[in-house]
Amino acid sequence: MAVFAWDDSFCTGFAVVDAQHRHLFELINGLKDASADAGRDEANLNTLFQQLAAYAVTHFKEEENLMRAAAVPAAYFEHHAKIHRNFVAQVGELWNQRGIMKSPSETIYGFLAAWLSAHILGEDQEMARQIRHARGEPENGLASAQRAAAMTPILQQALGVLYQALSRINRDLAETNRNLEAKVQERTQELLQAEKMASIGQLAAGVAHEINNPVGFVSSNLGTLGRYADQLLKLAELGAATPAGQASGQSIDLDYLKTDLHDLLRETREGLDRVQNIVANLKDFSRIDQSEWQEADLLAGLESTLNVAAHELKYKADLVRELAPLPRVRCMPAQLNQVFLNLLVNAAQAIAGHGTITVRSGTAGQEVWIEVADTGCGMDEATQRRMFEPFFTTKPVGTGTGLGMSLTWDIIKKHGGRIDVSSHPGAGTTIRVWLPVAGPNERHVAG
Protein backbone atom coordinates (compact mmCIF):
# COMPACT_ATOMS: atom_id res chain seq x y z
CA MET A 1 0.00 0.00 0.00
CA ALA A 2 1.44 3.39 -1.03
CA VAL A 3 2.23 6.00 1.63
CA PHE A 4 2.51 8.72 -1.03
CA ALA A 5 -0.08 8.59 -3.79
CA TRP A 6 0.20 10.81 -6.84
CA ASP A 7 -1.31 14.25 -6.41
CA ASP A 8 -1.79 17.08 -8.91
CA SER A 9 0.45 19.23 -6.70
CA PHE A 10 3.36 17.18 -8.04
CA CYS A 11 2.76 18.39 -11.61
CA THR A 12 5.51 20.57 -13.06
CA GLY A 13 3.71 21.41 -16.30
CA PHE A 14 6.13 19.38 -18.42
CA ALA A 15 4.39 16.23 -19.66
CA VAL A 16 7.47 14.03 -20.01
CA VAL A 17 8.75 14.94 -16.53
CA ASP A 18 5.37 14.41 -14.88
CA ALA A 19 4.90 11.04 -16.59
CA GLN A 20 8.30 9.88 -15.38
CA HIS A 21 7.54 11.12 -11.86
CA ARG A 22 4.36 9.04 -11.86
CA HIS A 23 6.30 5.97 -12.93
CA LEU A 24 8.90 6.55 -10.22
CA PHE A 25 6.09 6.56 -7.66
CA GLU A 26 4.83 3.27 -9.05
CA LEU A 27 8.29 1.68 -8.93
CA ILE A 28 8.91 2.82 -5.34
CA ASN A 29 5.53 1.56 -4.18
CA GLY A 30 6.15 -1.68 -6.06
CA LEU A 31 9.46 -2.08 -4.24
CA LYS A 32 7.65 -1.61 -0.93
CA ASP A 33 5.06 -4.25 -1.80
CA ALA A 34 7.74 -6.67 -2.97
CA SER A 35 9.70 -6.15 0.25
CA ALA A 36 6.64 -7.14 2.26
CA ASP A 37 5.79 -10.16 0.14
CA ALA A 38 9.15 -11.51 -1.00
CA GLY A 39 10.49 -12.46 2.42
CA ARG A 40 14.09 -13.50 1.92
CA ASP A 41 14.03 -13.45 -1.88
CA GLU A 42 17.05 -11.14 -2.17
CA ALA A 43 17.47 -11.75 -5.89
CA ASN A 44 13.95 -10.50 -6.67
CA LEU A 45 14.33 -7.43 -4.46
CA ASN A 46 17.71 -6.65 -5.95
CA THR A 47 16.26 -6.82 -9.48
CA LEU A 48 13.44 -4.44 -8.57
CA PHE A 49 15.86 -2.05 -6.90
CA GLN A 50 18.18 -2.04 -9.91
CA GLN A 51 15.21 -1.28 -12.18
CA LEU A 52 14.26 1.64 -9.97
CA ALA A 53 17.83 2.96 -9.87
CA ALA A 54 18.23 2.68 -13.66
CA TYR A 55 14.92 4.47 -14.29
CA ALA A 56 15.84 7.25 -11.85
CA VAL A 57 19.11 7.86 -13.73
CA THR A 58 17.20 7.99 -17.04
CA HIS A 59 14.71 10.44 -15.56
CA PHE A 60 17.46 12.70 -14.20
CA LYS A 61 19.08 12.81 -17.64
CA GLU A 62 15.74 13.85 -19.15
CA GLU A 63 15.43 16.72 -16.67
CA GLU A 64 18.99 17.83 -17.37
CA ASN A 65 18.36 17.74 -21.12
CA LEU A 66 15.33 20.03 -20.65
CA MET A 67 17.44 22.48 -18.64
CA ARG A 68 20.19 22.47 -21.27
CA ALA A 69 17.71 23.06 -24.08
CA ALA A 70 16.20 26.01 -22.22
CA ALA A 71 19.67 27.38 -21.38
CA VAL A 72 18.97 27.86 -17.67
CA PRO A 73 21.79 29.59 -15.72
CA ALA A 74 24.86 27.39 -15.44
CA ALA A 75 25.05 27.73 -11.65
CA TYR A 76 21.50 26.47 -11.22
CA PHE A 77 22.04 23.62 -13.69
CA GLU A 78 25.09 22.42 -11.75
CA HIS A 79 23.19 22.73 -8.45
CA HIS A 80 20.32 20.59 -9.72
CA ALA A 81 22.58 18.04 -11.42
CA LYS A 82 24.64 17.70 -8.23
CA ILE A 83 21.48 16.80 -6.30
CA HIS A 84 20.83 14.06 -8.84
CA ARG A 85 24.36 12.67 -8.50
CA ASN A 86 24.23 12.75 -4.71
CA PHE A 87 20.90 10.92 -4.70
CA VAL A 88 22.22 8.11 -6.91
CA ALA A 89 25.29 7.68 -4.70
CA GLN A 90 23.28 7.90 -1.48
CA VAL A 91 20.68 5.33 -2.53
CA GLY A 92 23.38 2.93 -3.68
CA GLU A 93 25.09 3.17 -0.30
CA LEU A 94 21.75 2.83 1.47
CA TRP A 95 21.04 -0.40 -0.39
CA ASN A 96 24.51 -1.82 0.19
CA GLN A 97 24.28 -1.18 3.94
CA ARG A 98 20.75 -2.53 4.43
CA GLY A 99 22.18 -5.47 6.37
CA ILE A 100 22.82 -3.34 9.46
CA MET A 101 19.25 -1.98 9.51
CA LYS A 102 16.59 -3.53 11.70
CA SER A 103 13.81 -2.60 9.25
CA PRO A 104 15.56 -2.11 5.90
CA SER A 105 12.40 -2.10 3.75
CA GLU A 106 10.73 0.60 5.89
CA THR A 107 13.88 2.71 6.08
CA ILE A 108 14.71 2.50 2.37
CA TYR A 109 11.11 2.96 1.26
CA GLY A 110 10.60 5.88 3.64
CA PHE A 111 13.76 7.56 2.38
CA LEU A 112 12.88 7.08 -1.29
CA ALA A 113 9.26 8.23 -0.95
CA ALA A 114 10.10 11.24 1.22
CA TRP A 115 13.04 12.25 -0.97
CA LEU A 116 11.00 11.99 -4.17
CA SER A 117 8.13 14.01 -2.71
CA ALA A 118 10.42 16.72 -1.36
CA HIS A 119 12.43 16.82 -4.58
CA ILE A 120 9.38 17.15 -6.82
CA LEU A 121 7.65 19.72 -4.62
CA GLY A 122 10.84 21.71 -4.05
CA GLU A 123 13.69 21.35 -6.50
CA ASP A 124 11.66 20.21 -9.53
CA GLN A 125 9.14 23.02 -9.12
CA GLU A 126 12.07 25.43 -9.02
CA MET A 127 13.51 23.70 -12.10
CA ALA A 128 10.22 24.24 -13.92
CA ARG A 129 10.24 27.91 -12.91
CA GLN A 130 13.84 28.31 -14.12
CA ILE A 131 12.98 26.73 -17.47
CA ARG A 132 9.91 28.90 -17.94
CA HIS A 133 11.87 31.99 -16.99
CA ALA A 134 14.64 31.10 -19.47
CA ARG A 135 11.99 30.68 -22.17
CA GLY A 136 10.41 34.03 -21.29
CA GLU A 137 7.13 32.47 -20.10
CA PRO A 138 5.19 34.37 -17.37
CA GLU A 139 4.56 33.07 -13.84
CA ASN A 140 1.02 32.71 -12.46
CA GLY A 141 1.03 34.14 -8.89
CA LEU A 142 -2.46 32.84 -8.06
CA ALA A 143 -1.60 29.35 -9.21
CA SER A 144 1.54 29.40 -7.03
CA ALA A 145 -0.49 30.31 -3.94
CA GLN A 146 -3.01 27.56 -4.64
CA ARG A 147 -0.20 25.06 -5.12
CA ALA A 148 1.35 26.03 -1.75
CA ALA A 149 -1.97 25.34 -0.02
CA ALA A 150 -2.33 21.98 -1.77
CA MET A 151 1.24 21.01 -0.90
CA THR A 152 0.74 21.34 2.87
CA PRO A 153 -0.75 17.91 3.71
CA ILE A 154 1.72 16.16 1.39
CA LEU A 155 4.65 17.91 3.03
CA GLN A 156 3.32 16.95 6.42
CA GLN A 157 3.26 13.32 5.34
CA ALA A 158 6.85 13.62 4.11
CA LEU A 159 7.90 15.17 7.43
CA GLY A 160 6.21 12.33 9.28
CA VAL A 161 8.10 9.70 7.31
CA LEU A 162 11.43 11.48 7.81
CA TYR A 163 10.65 11.81 11.51
CA GLN A 164 10.03 8.06 11.76
CA ALA A 165 13.16 7.27 9.75
CA LEU A 166 15.28 9.45 12.03
CA SER A 167 13.79 7.77 15.10
CA ARG A 168 14.63 4.31 13.71
CA ILE A 169 18.17 5.30 12.76
CA ASN A 170 18.71 6.95 16.15
CA ARG A 171 17.46 3.82 17.94
CA ASP A 172 19.54 1.48 15.75
CA LEU A 173 22.63 3.66 16.20
CA ALA A 174 22.29 3.60 19.99
CA GLU A 175 22.06 -0.20 19.97
CA THR A 176 24.97 -0.51 17.54
CA ASN A 177 26.99 1.77 19.80
CA ARG A 178 26.27 -0.38 22.85
CA ASN A 179 27.08 -3.61 21.01
CA LEU A 180 30.32 -2.24 19.59
CA GLU A 181 31.50 -0.94 22.96
CA ALA A 182 30.76 -4.33 24.49
CA LYS A 183 32.63 -6.03 21.67
CA VAL A 184 35.64 -3.75 22.13
CA GLN A 185 35.72 -4.39 25.87
CA GLU A 186 35.28 -8.14 25.45
CA ARG A 187 37.99 -8.58 22.85
CA THR A 188 40.42 -6.23 24.56
CA GLN A 189 39.87 -7.96 27.90
CA GLU A 190 40.64 -11.35 26.39
CA LEU A 191 43.95 -10.14 25.03
CA LEU A 192 44.90 -8.29 28.19
CA GLN A 193 44.36 -11.34 30.35
CA ALA A 194 46.37 -13.56 28.03
CA GLU A 195 49.11 -10.89 27.51
CA LYS A 196 49.14 -11.51 23.76
CA MET A 197 50.59 -8.12 23.02
CA ALA A 198 51.43 -8.84 19.40
CA SER A 199 47.71 -9.25 18.60
CA ILE A 200 46.58 -5.85 19.90
CA GLY A 201 47.22 -4.05 16.61
CA GLN A 202 45.19 -6.61 14.66
CA LEU A 203 42.39 -6.39 17.22
CA ALA A 204 42.24 -2.61 16.94
CA ALA A 205 42.31 -2.72 13.15
CA GLY A 206 39.48 -5.26 13.03
CA VAL A 207 37.26 -3.45 15.50
CA ALA A 208 37.96 -0.06 13.90
CA HIS A 209 36.96 -1.50 10.53
CA GLU A 210 33.76 -2.97 11.97
CA ILE A 211 32.83 0.35 13.53
CA ASN A 212 33.78 2.53 10.57
CA ASN A 213 31.43 0.76 8.17
CA PRO A 214 28.14 1.58 9.95
CA VAL A 215 29.45 4.94 11.15
CA GLY A 216 30.28 6.02 7.60
CA PHE A 217 26.85 4.96 6.40
CA VAL A 218 24.94 6.59 9.26
CA SER A 219 27.03 9.78 9.12
CA SER A 220 26.36 10.15 5.40
CA ASN A 221 22.64 9.56 5.87
CA LEU A 222 22.48 11.91 8.83
CA GLY A 223 23.91 14.80 6.84
CA THR A 224 21.48 14.17 4.02
CA LEU A 225 18.51 13.78 6.36
CA GLY A 226 19.41 17.04 8.09
CA ARG A 227 19.41 18.92 4.80
CA TYR A 228 16.16 17.33 3.68
CA ALA A 229 14.53 18.05 7.03
CA ASP A 230 15.48 21.74 6.80
CA GLN A 231 14.13 21.95 3.25
CA LEU A 232 10.89 20.21 4.16
CA LEU A 233 10.41 22.37 7.24
CA LYS A 234 10.81 25.51 5.15
CA LEU A 235 8.24 24.24 2.68
CA ALA A 236 5.93 23.21 5.51
CA GLU A 237 6.13 26.68 7.04
CA LEU A 238 5.16 28.21 3.70
CA GLY A 239 2.24 25.81 3.37
CA ALA A 240 1.15 26.39 6.95
CA ALA A 241 0.77 30.10 6.21
CA THR A 242 -2.31 29.36 4.12
CA PRO A 243 -5.75 28.98 5.76
CA ALA A 244 -5.88 25.27 5.00
CA GLY A 245 -2.34 24.82 6.20
CA GLN A 246 -2.95 26.51 9.56
CA ALA A 247 -5.53 23.94 10.55
CA SER A 248 -3.36 21.05 9.40
CA GLY A 249 -0.29 22.50 11.10
CA GLN A 250 -2.14 22.70 14.43
CA SER A 251 -3.42 19.14 14.11
CA ILE A 252 0.10 17.69 13.89
CA ASP A 253 1.71 20.23 16.28
CA LEU A 254 4.19 21.46 13.69
CA ASP A 255 6.15 23.56 16.22
CA TYR A 256 6.81 20.53 18.46
CA LEU A 257 7.76 18.39 15.49
CA LYS A 258 10.34 20.96 14.34
CA THR A 259 11.94 21.10 17.81
CA ASP A 260 11.95 17.33 18.33
CA LEU A 261 13.30 16.70 14.83
CA HIS A 262 16.33 18.87 15.57
CA ASP A 263 16.77 17.13 18.94
CA LEU A 264 16.79 13.75 17.19
CA LEU A 265 19.45 14.95 14.77
CA ARG A 266 21.57 16.30 17.64
CA GLU A 267 21.28 13.11 19.69
CA THR A 268 22.18 11.01 16.66
CA ARG A 269 25.26 13.14 16.02
CA GLU A 270 26.31 12.74 19.66
CA GLY A 271 26.03 8.97 19.29
CA LEU A 272 28.19 9.09 16.18
CA ASP A 273 30.80 11.21 17.95
CA ARG A 274 30.99 8.65 20.75
CA VAL A 275 31.56 5.78 18.34
CA GLN A 276 34.15 7.80 16.41
CA ASN A 277 36.01 8.48 19.66
CA ILE A 278 36.26 4.72 20.24
CA VAL A 279 37.74 4.28 16.78
CA ALA A 280 40.17 7.17 17.30
CA ASN A 281 41.41 5.70 20.59
CA LEU A 282 41.95 2.28 19.06
CA LYS A 283 43.73 3.68 16.01
CA ASP A 284 45.90 5.98 18.15
CA PHE A 285 46.76 3.06 20.41
CA SER A 286 47.74 0.61 17.69
CA ARG A 287 49.01 3.14 15.12
CA ILE A 288 48.04 0.57 12.52
CA ASP A 289 48.87 3.04 9.75
CA GLN A 290 52.20 4.17 11.32
CA SER A 291 54.38 1.13 12.00
CA GLU A 292 57.71 2.69 10.97
CA TRP A 293 60.23 4.72 12.95
CA GLN A 294 59.05 8.29 13.36
CA GLU A 295 58.96 11.34 15.61
CA ALA A 296 56.06 10.70 17.99
CA ASP A 297 54.21 12.26 20.92
CA LEU A 298 54.58 9.68 23.68
CA LEU A 299 52.01 11.34 25.94
CA ALA A 300 49.38 11.13 23.20
CA GLY A 301 50.16 7.42 22.87
CA LEU A 302 49.94 7.01 26.65
CA GLU A 303 46.54 8.71 26.73
CA SER A 304 45.16 6.48 23.98
CA THR A 305 46.49 3.44 25.84
CA LEU A 306 44.82 4.61 29.05
CA ASN A 307 41.55 4.84 27.14
CA VAL A 308 41.93 1.33 25.76
CA ALA A 309 42.78 -0.05 29.21
CA ALA A 310 40.07 1.95 31.00
CA HIS A 311 37.83 -1.09 31.46
CA GLU A 312 40.67 -3.01 33.10
CA LEU A 313 41.73 -0.14 35.36
CA LYS A 314 38.53 1.50 36.55
CA TYR A 315 37.45 -1.33 38.85
CA LYS A 316 40.89 -1.76 40.45
CA ALA A 317 42.40 1.67 40.97
CA ASP A 318 42.08 5.42 40.94
CA LEU A 319 44.23 6.87 38.17
CA VAL A 320 46.51 9.82 38.95
CA ARG A 321 48.30 11.75 36.20
CA GLU A 322 51.52 13.61 37.01
CA LEU A 323 52.63 14.18 33.44
CA ALA A 324 55.23 16.76 32.47
CA PRO A 325 55.53 17.81 28.79
CA LEU A 326 57.88 15.72 26.65
CA PRO A 327 59.68 16.43 23.38
CA ARG A 328 58.81 14.27 20.40
CA VAL A 329 60.78 11.01 20.42
CA ARG A 330 62.03 8.93 17.52
CA CYS A 331 60.39 5.55 18.04
CA MET A 332 57.86 2.99 16.84
CA PRO A 333 54.71 4.30 18.59
CA ALA A 334 52.63 1.13 18.36
CA GLN A 335 55.30 -0.91 20.14
CA LEU A 336 55.68 1.64 22.93
CA ASN A 337 51.91 1.73 23.38
CA GLN A 338 52.09 -2.03 23.95
CA VAL A 339 54.73 -1.41 26.62
CA PHE A 340 52.49 1.16 28.35
CA LEU A 341 49.54 -1.20 28.20
CA ASN A 342 51.50 -4.06 29.71
CA LEU A 343 52.76 -1.90 32.59
CA LEU A 344 49.26 -0.57 33.30
CA VAL A 345 47.63 -4.00 33.28
CA ASN A 346 50.34 -5.48 35.50
CA ALA A 347 49.87 -2.60 37.92
CA ALA A 348 46.11 -3.20 38.08
CA GLN A 349 46.55 -6.94 38.58
CA ALA A 350 49.02 -6.34 41.42
CA ILE A 351 46.32 -4.56 43.46
CA ALA A 352 44.22 -6.97 45.53
CA GLY A 353 41.36 -4.62 46.43
CA HIS A 354 41.18 -1.04 45.24
CA GLY A 355 44.28 1.12 45.04
CA THR A 356 45.98 3.87 43.10
CA ILE A 357 47.94 3.85 39.85
CA THR A 358 50.04 6.91 39.11
CA VAL A 359 51.54 7.70 35.70
CA ARG A 360 54.38 10.23 35.52
CA SER A 361 56.69 11.61 32.87
CA GLY A 362 59.80 13.76 32.69
CA THR A 363 63.06 14.53 30.92
CA ALA A 364 66.73 14.29 31.86
CA GLY A 365 69.40 15.39 29.42
CA GLN A 366 68.72 13.79 26.04
CA GLU A 367 66.37 11.18 27.49
CA VAL A 368 62.71 11.09 28.43
CA TRP A 369 61.03 8.82 30.95
CA ILE A 370 57.55 7.52 31.67
CA GLU A 371 56.76 5.55 34.81
CA VAL A 372 53.82 3.60 36.21
CA ALA A 373 53.54 3.31 39.99
CA ASP A 374 51.01 1.18 41.86
CA THR A 375 49.98 0.58 45.46
CA GLY A 376 49.83 -3.18 44.92
CA CYS A 377 51.48 -6.15 46.56
CA GLY A 378 55.04 -5.33 45.43
CA MET A 379 57.85 -7.79 44.59
CA ASP A 380 60.74 -9.30 46.51
CA GLU A 381 64.29 -9.18 45.11
CA ALA A 382 64.15 -12.70 43.69
CA THR A 383 61.05 -11.88 41.66
CA GLN A 384 62.57 -8.64 40.42
CA ARG A 385 65.66 -10.47 39.15
CA ARG A 386 63.52 -12.81 37.06
CA MET A 387 60.66 -10.52 36.01
CA PHE A 388 61.99 -10.00 32.46
CA GLU A 389 62.66 -13.70 31.80
CA PRO A 390 60.44 -15.30 29.11
CA PHE A 391 57.63 -17.41 30.59
CA PHE A 392 58.31 -16.29 34.17
CA THR A 393 55.11 -15.34 35.98
CA THR A 394 53.81 -15.10 39.53
CA LYS A 395 50.19 -15.25 38.37
CA PRO A 396 48.00 -18.34 38.82
CA VAL A 397 48.09 -20.95 36.07
CA GLY A 398 45.89 -19.94 33.15
CA THR A 399 45.95 -16.20 33.86
CA GLY A 400 49.34 -15.27 32.43
CA THR A 401 51.91 -16.50 29.92
CA GLY A 402 54.97 -14.80 31.40
CA LEU A 403 55.70 -13.08 28.09
CA GLY A 404 54.41 -9.57 28.82
CA MET A 405 57.45 -8.16 30.61
CA SER A 406 59.82 -10.11 28.35
CA LEU A 407 58.25 -8.39 25.35
CA THR A 408 58.42 -5.06 27.18
CA TRP A 409 62.16 -5.53 27.76
CA ASP A 410 62.77 -6.48 24.12
CA ILE A 411 60.90 -3.41 22.84
CA ILE A 412 62.69 -0.97 25.14
CA LYS A 413 66.06 -2.55 24.34
CA LYS A 414 65.34 -2.18 20.60
CA HIS A 415 64.60 1.50 21.23
CA GLY A 416 67.97 1.98 22.96
CA GLY A 417 66.30 2.52 26.33
CA ARG A 418 66.37 1.00 29.78
CA ILE A 419 63.98 0.08 32.58
CA ASP A 420 64.30 0.94 36.27
CA VAL A 421 62.31 -1.04 38.84
CA SER A 422 61.63 -0.04 42.44
CA SER A 423 59.49 -2.45 44.47
CA HIS A 424 59.08 -3.82 47.98
CA PRO A 425 56.66 -6.50 49.25
CA GLY A 426 53.50 -4.83 50.49
CA ALA A 427 54.65 -1.38 49.37
CA GLY A 428 53.82 -1.34 45.69
CA THR A 429 55.93 -1.14 42.53
CA THR A 430 57.25 1.70 40.37
CA ILE A 431 58.60 0.93 36.88
CA ARG A 432 60.27 3.72 34.92
CA VAL A 433 61.00 3.41 31.21
CA TRP A 434 63.83 5.56 29.79
CA LEU A 435 64.10 6.36 26.08
CA PRO A 436 66.61 8.42 24.06
CA VAL A 437 64.94 11.36 22.32
CA ALA A 438 67.00 10.85 19.16
CA GLY A 439 66.25 7.13 18.86
CA PRO A 440 68.39 4.02 19.43
CA ASN A 441 71.32 5.04 17.24
CA GLU A 442 72.15 8.22 19.15
CA ARG A 443 71.41 7.41 22.76
CA HIS A 444 72.71 9.81 25.37
CA VAL A 445 72.59 8.63 28.96
CA ALA A 446 71.26 11.15 31.45
CA GLY A 447 73.72 12.45 33.99
**CA separation for the pair 358, 347 (Å, rounded):** 10
What is the chain's alpha carbon radius of gyration, rounded to the nearest angstrom? 31
Q: Is residue 25 part of a domain?
A: yes
127/270 same-domain check? yes
> What phi and psi, each to the nearest 5 degrees, are found at residue 366?
-100, 20
Listed in sequence order, the residues at least 6 apart from 60 whose beta carbon sits closer than 8 Å to its beta carbon are 81, 84, 87, 88
CATH number of the domain residue 245 falls in: 1.20.120.50
322/209 same-domain check? no
**CA separation for the pair 169, 19 (Å, rounded):** 33
Segments of the chain scoring below 50 in pLDDT = 1-2, 38-40, 189-191, 193-199, 288-289, 397-398, 443-447
304/277 same-domain check? no
**CA separation for the pair 298, 303 (Å, rounded):** 9
Q: Is residue 169 part of a domain?
A: yes
207/321 same-domain check? no
Q: Is residue 138 part of a domain?
A: yes
Question: Residue 418: what pLDDT?
Answer: 95
19/162 same-domain check? yes
Q: Is residue 423 part of a domain?
A: yes
Convert the pLDDT of each residue in 72-102 to its tens digit. Answer: 999 999 999 998 988 888 777 777 767 667 7
Q: State which of 284, 302, 332 marks the end of a domain.
A: 284
255/394 same-domain check? no
245/322 same-domain check? no
CATH number of the domain residue 388 falls in: 3.30.565.10
Q: State which of 225, 257, 284 marks the end of a domain.
A: 284
Convert the pLDDT of each residue in 196-229 to its tens digit. Answer: 444 455 555 566 666 666 677 677 777 777 887 7
- Closest CA relative to residue 111, chosen from 26, 225, 252, 23: 225
Question: Residue 95: what pLDDT?
Answer: 78
> What phi and psi, each to the nearest 5 degrees, are found at residue 388?
-100, 5
Q: Is residue 2 part of a domain?
A: no
Q: Is residue 3 part of a domain?
A: no
176/209 same-domain check? yes
278/330 same-domain check? no
List of long-range contacts for 387-392, beta carbons under 8 Å, 24+ apart = 387/421, 388/419
323/384 same-domain check? yes
- Closest CA relative to residue 342, chosen from 192, 200, 240, 233: 192
Question: Residue 141: what pLDDT?
Answer: 55
40/187 same-domain check? yes
Question: Residue 198: what pLDDT?
Answer: 44
When divided into structural domains, the chain yields a total of: 2
Domain residue limits at 137 = 8-284
313/169 same-domain check? no
Question: Residue 260: what pLDDT?
Answer: 82
How many residues make up the chain in this entry? Answer: 447
Q: Are strands 317-323 and 429-436 parallel, antiparallel or unpaired?
A: unpaired
Q: State which of 255, 284, 313 marks the end of a domain.
A: 284
**CA separation for the pair 245, 418 (Å, rounded):** 76
- Closest CA relative to residue 337, chosen from 326, 345, 348, 347: 345
**CA separation for the pair 271, 211 (Å, rounded):** 12
Q: Is residue 324 part of a domain?
A: yes
Question: Residue 302: what pLDDT?
Answer: 93
pTM for the complete prediction? Answer: 0.43
